[in-house]
Amino acid sequence: MKDPNNTRNTAPRRGSPLWIYFVVVVLLGVAVCATAFSGVTGPDLDALVRSPVFWILGCFIIFGELRPIITPGSTENNGATMSTTFSFAALLYAGLPIAAGLQAVAVVTCGVFRGRSPHRIAFNAAQYTLSLGAAQLVLALFGDLATPTDRWVPDGADLPAVALAGTVYFLCNDTLVGSAVALHERVSLVKALRWDLGYQVLVHLALLGLAPLMVIAMDRSAVFVPLIVLPFIAVYLNASVSVRREHQALHDGLTGLPNRKLLITRTEEALAEARTAEKREVEKREAERRGAGRPGRRWRPWAGERGAGTRGPRGPRAGLAARRRRAADPPTHRAGLFLLDLDRFKEVNDTLGHPTGDRLLQLVAHRLTHSVRPGDLVARLGGDEFAVLLPSVRDEAAAREVAARLRAALSEPVRLDGMSFDLEASVGIALFPDHAPDFELLLQRADVAMYHAKETRSGVEIYTSGKDRNSPARLSMLGDLRRALDRSELELFYQPKVSLRDGQLVGMEALLRWRHPVDGVLEPAAFLSVAEQTYLMRSITHHVVDAALTQAAAWWREDLTVQVAVNASGRDLLDTGLTETIEEGLLARGLPAAALQLEITERILMNEPAYASDTVGALAELGIPLSLDDFGTGYSSLVRLNRLPVEEIKIDSSFVGRLADSPEDAVIVRSIVDLVRTLGLRSVAEGVEDPVTARLLREMGCDAAQGWHFGRPMDAETATDWLRRHMQRAPEPAA
């Protein structure tokens, strides 16, 4: 059963219903305990002191209260306490005074050891006393009363009495605690009892069912008592292993923080609580308005508020007014989700190594968990990306305060392995219900805000719809795209790049395709724009890189030593983990850096944050060739272009396609070719679809080209056959 006050360790407000309930239960418990002990005689106490069974039993009750059996999904507050078996056995064997006394000592000992407040200790002691007292009444009805000097050992005929006493004990205990929970959570008693009723019935059935066996063992010899404990030890150890496994499944192995799975669960719980609280608040406001509008009269719903289909003289107008009032009232119960990404984290891994980077992530986790408010949750999603859940937040200003505190904690200088450096982080914020109604949309919109914060270097951004191009249809596609990754529906097609001078193969460009189960094969323009503003883009890029490297390795094993080019988005350039993924992929497959090329569009690479990003420099240091794609569509600075670590410039197909018909485009293409040659780079023309265009490009001095004239995008199997044929025949000048 859920603890009646597990959310805080402070006494309920004096005079509140919960406070009154606690006082009544404690007074009743004291009365029952006093009545029970009034009948204890001197010989009873003497028998109690002299018998080793009671001392052993007392130790077991205290130990069982201190170390409950915690199973997956339970906590110390609602775990199964082994003291239940021992205290019920004491009730059967020696009567209520001994059972209640030993249980009270165990509750007080456990409460003091765990630092519980006095009101909780008193309530728990009274709760057990009243439950044991109710079970004693049942046994008295059957004439089965025991004392320390006149002990009772049940036989087969007494099992109905024992079963009924155990049932009454459970019902009384569960009702007492459930009532406290109902008052604390402000829900009905039935709802409070139903939260974990099945679990509690199963646990108490097992615990109370062992009590008669323990009584028989105690009556035979005190030596047998420890043997009864062995099954408990086995159950305890097995439960501990299960809890550890559950913890491993729900927590990050490096930092110990909750992982994405647990974050989803806790977020959904927080959103459900916020919805319930908001609903109660709305109902309260509506009741106050109705009461203020018609004092002295009992409110009855107008026809328009009872439902569509019933009409009254003022129904439609009243329903419209109610809807307008609800729309005018802003939500008062919000939850917040932060997405936090470390800036320049890869510098640590590259400079000091991954072990030091892991220690830094542990330090970051420590700082984050000690900078949030009580009740907030910090989770690690992977790499250097963290999430923070605020189950309750007042407004955007309060969310910004928390985010600023997190960034301030991370910005303190870090000293590792004799080096000191600063950490910075970009934080994106999304609020429920202002920005999204569920976890997935909250995370996606926090990711949009975080990406904007990183792009503008503002540090903290709150989601705004004006910076999000996602529509409901696009969001639906985003969900389908996420599932497509899991179902391996995304695959790569390959299109050759051919030298215009001698027909030699320059490389193969990997082009992403989505084999949609309904819409067929989709090209990137149909879905990548949806993913580029979300965290999903990182997963897609890593999938593409992995698939491209796997295919390149297969070709290189056949001596088809071809360079494979993949496209990178602007978001990828801000992902410090991309270089690490590429480096590990090359090492795992035994490929040189030249086996992979990254194509980056001119518009993205000319953007200041992308141009200055650590990823571009890290890729160049790794030796990964870079290609500037769609050249001519942006606004390149010649100074910046000269500084970019690129080896290839690709002329956009919009100019190449009109080369034979437009003198203006011919001048542009010729100028680009001359500029690229002057910079000592390779020029590649895109969209070459006929031999005339190929001839004109060759005459201009363009180095290479790709397009349908040389080969359409092919799946991996078809591309492999094409490579084998092309490599076998002698090179010929391209037409």
Q: What confidence category does residue 735 fall into, taking pLDDT thresholds of 50, 70 and 90? A: very low
Secondary structure percentages of the chain, helix, strand, coil, to 5:
60, 15, 30
Res 221: pLDDT: 76
Residues 470-524: pLDDT tens digits?
555 566 777 788 888 888 889 999 999 999 988 889 999 999 999 888 888 888 8
Share of residues in the chain with pLDDT > 70 (%)? 79
Res 717: pLDDT: 92
Give CA–CA dist 471/229, Å, rounded.
Answer: 62
Res 720: pLDDT: 93
Q: Average pLDDT in the 361-385 region?
A: 87
Residues 661-720: pLDDT tens digits?
888 888 888 988 998 888 888 999 998 998 999 999 999 999 999 999 888 899 999 999
For the CA atoms of 455, 458, 462, 464, what is the dihedral angle to 10 degrees?
Answer: -50
Give me the DSSP letters along 273-339. HHHHHHHHHHHHHHHHHHHHHSTTS-----HHHH-TT---SSHHHHHHHHHHHHHHS--S-EEEEEE
Q: Average pLDDT in the 241-248 region?
A: 69
Res 475: pLDDT: 61
Q: Residue 554 pLDDT > 90, yes or no? A: yes
Choose among 424, 437, 122, 385: nearest CA to 275: 437
Distant-in-sequence, close-in-space partners of 681: CB < 8 Å, separation ≥ 6: 646, 647, 648, 649
Q: Average pLDDT in the 547-562 region?
A: 92
Q: Average pLDDT in the 131-139 region?
A: 91
Q: What confidence category does residue 447 fall into, taking pLDDT thresholds of 50, 70 and 90? A: confident
Res 164: pLDDT: 93
Average pLDDT in the chain: 79
Q: Residue 569 pLDDT > 90, yes or no? A: no
Res 308: pLDDT: 37
Across the chain, which distance is largest between two alpha carbons, in Å?
118
Res 326: pLDDT: 47
Res 636: pLDDT: 52
Residues 259-290: pLDDT tens digits?
888 899 999 988 888 888 878 777 777 777 76
Phi, psi for residue 490 in degrees, rounded to 5: -90, 130
* Contact (Cβ atoms closer than 8 angstroms) between residue 734 and residue 509: no
Q: Residue 609 pLDDT > 60, yes or no? A: no
Peptide bond into 517 cis (omega under 30): no
* Contact (Cβ atoms closer than 8 angstroms) between residue 30 and residue 47: no
Res 389: pLDDT: 93
Res 509: pLDDT: 94
Residues 172-223: pLDDT tens digits?
988 988 888 888 777 778 877 777 777 778 777 877 888 888 888 877 777 7
Cβ neighbours of 36 (radius 10 Å): 20
Kindly report which listed range (32-41, 111-120, 417-426) carries the lowest average pLDDT score: 417-426
Q: What confidence category does residue 51 fall into, taking pLDDT thresholds of 50, 70 and 90? A: confident
**Token digits of residue 210:** 């062992």
Share of residues in the chain with pLDDT > 90 (%)? 18
Q: Average pLDDT in the 625-640 region?
A: 67
Q: Average pLDDT in the 9-32 region?
A: 83
Give me the DSSP letters along 71-118. PTT--TTTSBPTHHHHHHHHHHHH-HHHHHHHHHHHHHHHHHHHT--H
Strand 520-522, strand 564-568: pairing: unpaired
If you average pLDDT over each of 229-243, 297-311, 378-392, 454-468, which comes out highest? 378-392
Choose among 297, 195, 254, 572: nearest CA to 383: 254
Res 379: pLDDT: 93
Distances in whole angstroms, Cα of residue 144 to Cα of each of 84, 153, 169, 221, 228 = 20, 9, 16, 22, 23
Q: Average pLDDT in the 124-140 region?
A: 91
Res 348: pLDDT: 63
**Token digits of residue 666:** 């011919």
Q: What confidence category does residue 608 fall into, taking pLDDT thresholds of 50, 70 and 90? A: very low
Q: How many residues does the chain have?
A: 735
Give CA–CA dist 132/99, Å, rounded.
Answer: 8
Ordered domains of the chain (ranges, CATH): 17-250 (no CATH), 262-271+332-468 (3.30.70.270), 498-509+537-728 (3.20.20.450)
pLDDT higher at 254 or 534:
254
Q: What confidence category does residue 627 fall into, taking pLDDT thresholds of 50, 70 and 90? A: confident
The 3-state DSSP class for residue 143 equals coil
Res 76: pLDDT: 55
Res 75: pLDDT: 54
Choose among 137, 41, 143, 132: nearest CA to 90: 132
CB neighbour burial string for 522-554, b if at least 16 within 10 angstroms, e if fewer: beeeebbebbbbbbbbbbbbbbbbbbbbebbbe
pLDDT higher at 224 or 128:
128
Q: What secondary structure, in 3-state letters, does 554-621 show? A: HHHHCCCCCCEEEEECHHHHCCCHHHHHHHHHHHHHCCCHHHEEEEEEHHHHCCHHHHCCHHHHHHHH
Q: Residue 733 pLDDT > 50, yes or no? A: no
Res 640: pLDDT: 59
Radius of gyration of the chain measured on its C-alpha atoms: 36
Q: What confidence category does residue 316 fall into, taking pLDDT thresholds of 50, 70 and 90? A: very low
Res 465: pLDDT: 72
Res 303: pLDDT: 36
Helix axes 118-141, 83-94, angle to 10 degrees: 40
Q: Residue 637 pLDDT > 70, yes or no? A: no
Q: Residue 135 pLDDT > 70, yes or no? A: yes
pLDDT higher at 223 or 539:
539
Distances in whole angstroms, Cα of residue 9 to Cα of each of 80, 134, 174, 273, 494 = 21, 28, 21, 21, 64
Give CA–CA dist 545/598, Å, rounded.
Answer: 9
Q: Average pLDDT in the 590-598 region?
A: 92
Q: What pairs with residue 69 in β-bridges?
A: 80
